[in-house]
C-alpha cells in the first residue's frame, strides 16, 4: 500500500503552500487524475468521495510568513512532514509527484519513489493533488472575504494582471510572499489590514465566521457547510478533519472580559447543537466521529480560541 504525495501552491505570489498525502487503501474512485485537469465542481465532488472512502488523508500547510522565513525548499520538506504525520493507515511506499525527494534527509527518505506526472499515473497521488487543491482554493476563497479588492477567489494568489494591479494600488497583505522577487520591494511597506464592515450584527457575525473558517482550513479542516440550518436548528460551520466532523458555533465578543464562547452556550443552546449534530449525522458514514466545538472571536476579528466541547 502506498501514500501519494502532491503539492499545490508552489508558484502563487500569495497564500499557503499545501501538501496533500493520501492512502487510498481499498477505495476505488472513478475519475481520479491531476487536479489541474478537472473543473472546480468535479474536484469538489471527488474530494468528497476521497474523504468518505480513503484509508487516510493528511494536509500539510506552510503559510506565507513561514515560507518567507525558511524558503521554498525547506517549506516543501516541512509541509510534506506535516501531511505525513497525519497518516495513521499503514503504507510501505511513499510516492511523490515530480523528481525531488522532499524527505531524503529524514528517516522516511529510503521509502520514497519520485515520479514525473505521478498525479496522472498513480491514483493515490491524484487524490492527494485533488484534496490539496480543494483545501487551498477554499482557504483563498475565505481570504477573499477579508480582502475583497484582491480577487483571491478567482486567481487564488497567482500573479495575474488583476492581482498585480491590486498590489500596485493597495499594497500587500499578510498573505503575500515577500520573498518572491516581484514583491520584495514591499518588505518594508505596512501590510493591508483585512477589510471589515461591522455596520450590522449579521455582518459582524459573518466576519467572525470567516476568521474561524480560515483558521480551520489552515489547520487541516475541510469546510463542509457554512450556516447549515433546518427549521429546527442551525450550525455556523461544519468541517471535517481526518475521520471526525466538527460542528462549530462561532461567538463574537467585544473583549476578552466578556468570557469565552463557552460562556455564551446555554444548556438550551447546547441541546440544540447536539440535536443538529445528530440530524446532520444521518447523511454521514456510521464510522465518522462527531464533535461539537466553540470558537471565540474578539474585536478586531482575532480568533481567541477554538475548542472542541467534550
Per-residue pLDDT of the chain (310 residues; tens, 9 = 90+): 999 999 999 999 999 999 999 999 999 999 999 899 999 999 999 999 999 999 999 989 998 989 999 999 999 999 999 999 889 899 999 999 999 999 999 999 999 999 999 999 999 999 999 999 999 998 898 888 889 999 999 999 999 999 999 999 999 998 999 999 999 988 865 667 666 544 466 677 778 888 888 888 888 888 888 888 766 667 889 998 888 899 998 888 765 444 444 555 667 777 777 777 777 887 777 778 888 888 888 876 777 888 887 6
Q: What is the pTM of this model?
A: 0.65
Whole-number Å distance between alpha carbons of 15 and 23: 26
- H-run or E-run covering 203: helix 201-218
Whole-number Å distance between alpha carbons of 29 and 178: 39
Residues of the chain with CATH 3.30.420.10: 2-135
The predicted structure's pLDDT at residue 252: 82
Residues of the chain with CATH 3.40.1350.10: 201-309
The predicted structure's pLDDT at residue 309: 77
Total Cβ atoms within 10 A of residue 80: 27
Q: For residue 238, what is its C-alpha cell?
A: 461544519
The predicted structure's pLDDT at residue 199: 45
| Burial class (CB within 10 angstroms; exposed 0-12, middle 13-18, buried 19+) of 38 | buried
Whole-number Å distance between alpha carbons of 306 and 195: 22
Whole-number Å distance between alpha carbons of 120 and 127: 10
User: How is domain 201-309 classified at the CATH fold level?
Assistant: Trna Endonuclease; Chain: A, domain 1 (3.40.1350)
The predicted structure's pLDDT at residue 16: 92
The predicted structure's pLDDT at residue 133: 95
The predicted structure's pLDDT at residue 231: 62
Whole-number Å distance between alpha carbons of 90 and 117: 24
The predicted structure's pLDDT at residue 259: 46
CB 211 within 8 A of CB 300: no
CATH of 2-135, one of 2.30.110.10, 3.40.50.1370, 3.30.420.10, 3.90.1170.40: 3.30.420.10
Interhelix angle 40-53/123-146, nearest 10 degrees: 120
In the block, cell 493515490 appears at: 124
Whole-number Å distance between alpha carbons of 86 and 75: 17
Amino acid at each position: 500500500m502506498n501514500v501519494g504525495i502532491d503539492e499545490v501552491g508552489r508558484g502563487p505570489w500569495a497564500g499557503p503552500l499545501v501538501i496533500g498525502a493520501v492512502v487510498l487503501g481499498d477505495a476505488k474512485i472513478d475519475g481520479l487524475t491531476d487536479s489541474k485537469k478537472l473543473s472546480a465542481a468535479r474536484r469538489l465532488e471527488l474530494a468528497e468521495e476521497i474523504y468518505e472512502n480513503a484509508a487516510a488523508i493528511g494536509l500539510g500547510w506552510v503559510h506565507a510568513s513561514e515560507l518567507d522565513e525558511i524558503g521554498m525548499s525547506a517549506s516543501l520538506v516541512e509541509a510534506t512532514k506535516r501531511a505525513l504525520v497525519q497518516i495513521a493507515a499503514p503504507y510501505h511506499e511513499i510516492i511523490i509527484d515530480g523528481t525531488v525527494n522532499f524527505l531524503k534527509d529524514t528517516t522516511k527518505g529510503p521509502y520514497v519513489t519520485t515520479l514525473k506526472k505521478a498525479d496522472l499515473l498513480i491514483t493515490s497521488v491524484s487524490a492527494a493533488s485533488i484534496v490539496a487543491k480543494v483545501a487551498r482554493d477554499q482557504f483563498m476563497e475565505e481570504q477573499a472575504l477579508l480582502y475583497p479588492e484582491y480577487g483571491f477567489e478567482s486567481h487564488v494568489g497567482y500573479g495575474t494582471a488583476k492581482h498585480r494591479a491590486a498590489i500596485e494600488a493597495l499594497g500587500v497583505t499578510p498573505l503575500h510572499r515577500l520573498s518572491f522577487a516581484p514583491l520584495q520591494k514591499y518588505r518594508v511597506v505596512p501590510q493591508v489590514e483585512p477589510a471589515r464592515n461591522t455596520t450590522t450584527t449579521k455582518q459582524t457575525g459573518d466576519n467572525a465566521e470567516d476568521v474561524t473558517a480560515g483558521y480551520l482550513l489552515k489547520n487541516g479542516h475541510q469546510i463542509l457547510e457554512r450556516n447549515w440550518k433546518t427549521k429546527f436548528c442551525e450550525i455556523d460551520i461544519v468541517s471535517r478533519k481526518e475521520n471526525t466532523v466538527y460542528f462549530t458555533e462561532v461567538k463574537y465578543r467585544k473583549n476578552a472580559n466578556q468570557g469565552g464562547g463557552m460562556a455564551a452556550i446555554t444548556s438550551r443552546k447546547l441541546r440544540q447543537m447536539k440535536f443538529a449534530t445528530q440530524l446532520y449525522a444521518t447523511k454521514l458514514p456510521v464510522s465518522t466521529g462527531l464533535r461539537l466545538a466553540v470558537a471565540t472571536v474578539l474585536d478586531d476579528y482575532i480568533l481567541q480560541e477554538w475548542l472542541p466541547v467534550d
